[in-house]
Amino acid sequence: MSKKLGKIAKPLAEEYADGRKLYCVPLLFTGKNAPKDYLKLYDKYWVQVEENVAKLELSGKADKIYHESVFLAGKEGLESIEQQNKKSHQLVESKISRGALLIALEDKQLLAEYLDWGLCLSVVRSPEVVGKIQDFYREAEERRDKQIVKRIDDTLKNGEVGVLLMNDESRIRIQPKLPAKIHVFLVHPPALNDISQWIRSQIRDNIKKSD
């Protein structure tokens, strides 16, 4: 069970004081040539994420940080995040400066296998080959998800607060597998809905152009 948080008026209820808390932030990216209207929403989103996480931390500051696609901890892990996403790096760096620890979320070999099978799926054409690769991809995905859940469970101690930056599709898969004593809070600020609407609008416009 998770609690969805956009606007947060006050600290978390006392019922969540025990156990472990995990604040889940949807990990969004942008390309160098992204449209200006999207970039405006993107920047707004990350400002709201920082505000929402800060309000959540009124009940306890972040102890552990987990970032998708990062298999290194500490300084090396932070450098890896900076190469992937400047905005998430800014958030993670600010939490580390306040005492949080960056945990190596991924297993390097499992992540590479998962990404490689995904890449294969993007280039194959034969239905028979696609079916076989999908089986390998799903099996690698399942092992990766299990490893991520175990890493969070092993490192987030009782009474601690974790921040997980991960795309929503992956978070939805792993969330039911997390231990019941880990209370999940979804950080979904208003700008996330604006971005979703923008994407749907772009899809509709592209469909009209192709007709």
Question: DSSP readout, 50-93?
Answer: HHHHHHHGGG----EEEETT----HHHHHHHHHHH-HHHHHHHH
Averaged pLDDT of the chain: 91
On whether the CB atoms of residues 91 and 190 are closer than 8 A, the answer is no
- Per the domain annotation, does 134 fall within a domain? yes
At 77-87, the pLDDT tens digits run 999 999 999 99
- Determine whether 115 is exposed, middle or buried from the number of CB atoms within 10 Å of its CB (0-12, 13-18, 19+): middle
Q: Determine the structural domain holding residue 123 and report its residue range.
A: 107-155
Write the CB contacts of 181 (distance below 8 Å, at least 6 apart in sequence).
19, 20, 158
- Dump strand ranges (E) for the chain: 2-5, 20-26, 64-67, 101-103, 161-166, 182-187
Q: Tell me, what DSSP letter sits at residue 7?
A: S
Cβ partners under 8 Å of residue 101, min gap 6: 63, 64, 65, 73, 74
Residue 22 covered by a domain: no
Burial group, residue 91, by CB count within 10 angstroms (0-12, 13-18, 19+): buried
Q: Domains in the chain: how many in total?
A: 1
Name the 3-class secondary structure at 10: coil
Judged against a pLDDT cut of 90, whether residue 189 lies above it is answered with yes
**pTM, entire model:** 0.89
pLDDT in tens, 123-176: 999 999 999 999 999 999 999 999 999 999 999 999 999 999 999 999 999 999
**Assigned domain for 69 exists:** no
- Whether 183 is covered by a domain: the verdict is no
Q: Is residue 173 part of a domain?
A: no
Is residue 135 a part of any domain in this protein? yes
